[in-house]
C-alpha cells in the first residue's frame, strides 16, 4: 500500500554522499521514503574520481533514479585492441558500443536530483544507537540525527562497517593501479590514431594497462578537447606499500594518499618504467599525464549486509577489483533492490525488509567479487597453487583480456559454472 499524500513510509539516514549514497537516496525517495544524506567530506566531491566504463544495466538504473539521458554522458566505444610491449597488435575485436564516461559526470547528474537541504557535508559519523523504534546517529560535530533506518554507503573504508564489524577489513590484492588523464590535444598524431577512439590495452608480463577516451573538462565531447583515461595494474609487495603511501614530508597516509602528495621520485620512476616496458603509445600517455595517481586494489566480502535497522551497501559491503568495471553497477543494483523491498515496507517492517534484501544482494555481490578476483589472478603474486596457475593462464590470454575487461560477468559466474569449466 502506498503512503497517503504528504506522508512517507519512514525516515532513512544515508551515511556517504558519493555514487552509492546518491543512487540509494534518489531511488528510496521514489519509493516513498524521506531521505537525508550525511557525507564526511566538507568539500564538493564533483572533481573526484577518474574514468568509468558503464554497462546497460547501470544506464537503466540511472534513468530509474531520475537522470534524463537526453544527451550523451560520455563517449561510445566499440573497438578493443591489445598491444605487446614492443607495439605489436596481439588481439583486436569490435563489440557492442559501450559508453565510457567520467566519475564526476555521473556524480553530478545524481547530485543535481537530490535536494540541497537534505545533503549535509562535513558530517563525520562517530557512532549510532539502535532501539526498537529506530536509529540515532552521532556525528563528530555533536549533531545527533534520528531515523527509522540507517544505510552505510560510505565506501571501501566504511565507518558504518567498522562500527558493526571491527575485524572485517579490505584485503590487499597484491597490486596497485596507477591512474591518470591526458588531454587529447597533448597526444601525438601516431598515438592518437592507434588508441584514442578505442578501449586499448598493453600487456607486459604480469601487468596490464587499460585506456579509453572520456569527455574533457566540463563534460566537453568536442574532438580535440576530450581526454584519455588509463589505469595501469602493477604488482607491489605489501611491505613496499608503506613507502608508496608516504608523502614528500614523510607523512604516512594509510587510507590512501592524495594525488598532490605523491612524491615526485615515485612519479619519475613510473615514467621511466613506462618507457622501458610499455609500447610507445602507452609510454607517451603516462609521460604526458600531469598528475598520475594510484589506488591500492582490494577485495572485501562482508559476512552480513543487514543488521536490524542498519545496512551497508556498495563498497561498504563488497569490494570487487576494477577489472569487470562493476563497482558502480553493483552499487546501483544494491540500491534498486533496496528501493524495491522498502517500497513495500514502512518503519515498523523495515528490519524484515532489509533481511529480505540481503538474501538476494549478498549472493550476487559475492559472485562479482569472485569473478573480479579471477580476472586479476595473473597480476597478483598468487598462492602458487595449481588452481591459481590455471586461472591466471586462462584469464591472461590477450583474446580473453579484451572481451572480459570492463564487461559484465556472464550468467555462469553467478552459478559457478565458469570457474568449474576453467579448473
pLDDT higher at 5 or 22: 22
Candidate from 5-19, 92-106, 272-286 with smallest mean pLDDT: 5-19
Q: In the chain, pLDDT over 90 holds for what percent of residues?
A: 83
Say what the pLDDT of residue 43 is.
81
pLDDT at 77 over 80: yes
Say what the pLDDT of residue 397 is.
94
Q: Report residue 141 as a C-alpha cell.
A: 560535530
Candidate from 80-84, 170-174, 410-414 with smallest mean pLDDT: 410-414
**Beta strand pairing call for 134-139 and 125-131:** antiparallel
pLDDT at 1 over 50: no
Residue 318 binned pLDDT confidence (cut-offs 50, 70, 90): very high
Say what the pLDDT of residue 321 is.
96
Q: What is the mean pLDDT of residues 45-62?
A: 83
Q: Taking all residues of the chain, what is their mean pLDDT, rounded to a whole number?
A: 92
pLDDT higher at 220 or 186: 186
pLDDT at 417 over 80: no
Lateral strand order in the sheet of 144-147: 125-131, 134-139, 144-147
Q: What is the mean pLDDT of residues 100-125?
A: 94
**Beta strand pairing call for 89-102 and 75-83:** antiparallel
Global pTM reads 0.92
Residue 420 binned pLDDT confidence (cut-offs 50, 70, 90): very low
Say what the pLDDT of residue 412 is.
60
Q: C-alpha dihedral over 48, 210, 365, 28, to 10 degrees?
A: 30
Say what the pLDDT of residue 71 is.
82
Among residues 359, 365, 387, 379, which one has the least CA distance to residue 320? 365
pLDDT at 46 over 70: no
pLDDT at 148 over 60: yes
CATH class of 11-48+105-170+299-373: alpha beta
Residue 414 binned pLDDT confidence (cut-offs 50, 70, 90): low
Residue 324 binned pLDDT confidence (cut-offs 50, 70, 90): very high
Amino acid at each position: 500500500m502506498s503512503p497517503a499524500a504528504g506522508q512517507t513510509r519512514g525516515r532513512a539516514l544515508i551515511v556517504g554522499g558519493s555514487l552509492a549514497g546518491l543512487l540509494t537516496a534518489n531511488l528510496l525517495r521514489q519509493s516513498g521514503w524521506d531521505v537525508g544524506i550525511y557525507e564526511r567530506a566538507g568539500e564538493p566531491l564533483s572533481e573526484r574520481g577518474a574514468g568509468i566504463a558503464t554497462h546497460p544495466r547501470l544506464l537503466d538504473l540511472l534513468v530509474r533514479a531520475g537522470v534524463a539521458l537526453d544527451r550523451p554522458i560520455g563517449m561510445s566505444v566499440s573497438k578493443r585492441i591489445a598491444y605487446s610491449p614492443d607495439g605489436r597488435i596481439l588481439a583486436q575485436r569490435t563489440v557492442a558500443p559501450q559508453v565510457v564516461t567520467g566519475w564526476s559526470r555521473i556524480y553530478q547528474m545524481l547530485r543535481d536530483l537530490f535536494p540541497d537541504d537534505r545533503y549535509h557535508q562535513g558530517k563525520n559519523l562517530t557512532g549510532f544507537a539502535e532501539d526498537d523504534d529506530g536509529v540515532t546517529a552521532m556525528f563528530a560535530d555533536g549533531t545527533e540525527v534520528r531515523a527509522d533506518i540507517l544505510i552505510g554507503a560510505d565506501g571501501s573504508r566504511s565507518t558504518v562497517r567498522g562500527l558493526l564489524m571491527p575485524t572485517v577489513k579490505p584485503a590487499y590484492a597484491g597490486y596497485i593501479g596507477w591512474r591518470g588523464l591526458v588531454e587529447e590535444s597533448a597526444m601525438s598524431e601516431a598515438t592518437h590514431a592507434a588508441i584514442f577512439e578505442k578501449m586499448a590495452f598493453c600487456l607486459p608480463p604480469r601487468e596490464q594497462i587499460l585506456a579509453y577516451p572520456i569527455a574533457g573538462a566540463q563534460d566537453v565531447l568536442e574532438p580535440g578537447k576530450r581526454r584519455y583515461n588509463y589505469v595501469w595494474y602493477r604488482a607491489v609487495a605489501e611491505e613496499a606499500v608503506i613507502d608508496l603511501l608516504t608523502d614528500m614530508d614523510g607523512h604516512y597516509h594509510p587510507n590512501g594518499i592524495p594525488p598532490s602528495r605523491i612524491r615526485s621520485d615515485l612519479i619519475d620512476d613510473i615514467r621511466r618504467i613506462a618507457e622501458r616496458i610499455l609500447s610507445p603509445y602507452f609510454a607517451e600517455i603516462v609521460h604526458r599525464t600531469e598528475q598520475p595517481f594510484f589506488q591500492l586494489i582490494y577485495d572485501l566480502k562482508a559476512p552480513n549486509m543487514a543488521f536490524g535497522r542498519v545496512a551497508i551497501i556498495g563498497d561498504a559491503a563488497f569490494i570487487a577489483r576494477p577489472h569487470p568495471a562493476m563497482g558502480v553497477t553493483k552499487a546501483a543494483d544494491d540500491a534498486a533492490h533496496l528501493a524495491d523491498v522498502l517500497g513495500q515496507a514502512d518503519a515498523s517492517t523495515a528490519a524484515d525488509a532489509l533481511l529480505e534484501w540481503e538474501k538476494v544482494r549478498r549472493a550476487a555481490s559475492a559472485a562479482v567479487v569472485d569473478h573480479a578476483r579471477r580476472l586479476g589472478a595473473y597480476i597478483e603474486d598468487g598462492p602458487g597453487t595449481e588452481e591459481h596457475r590455471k586461472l591466471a593462464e586462462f584469464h591472461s590470454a590477450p583474446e580473453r583480456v579484451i572481451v572480459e575487461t570492463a564487461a559484465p560477468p556472464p550468467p555462469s559466474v553467478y552459478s559457478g559454472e565458469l570457474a568449474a569449466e576453467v579448473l
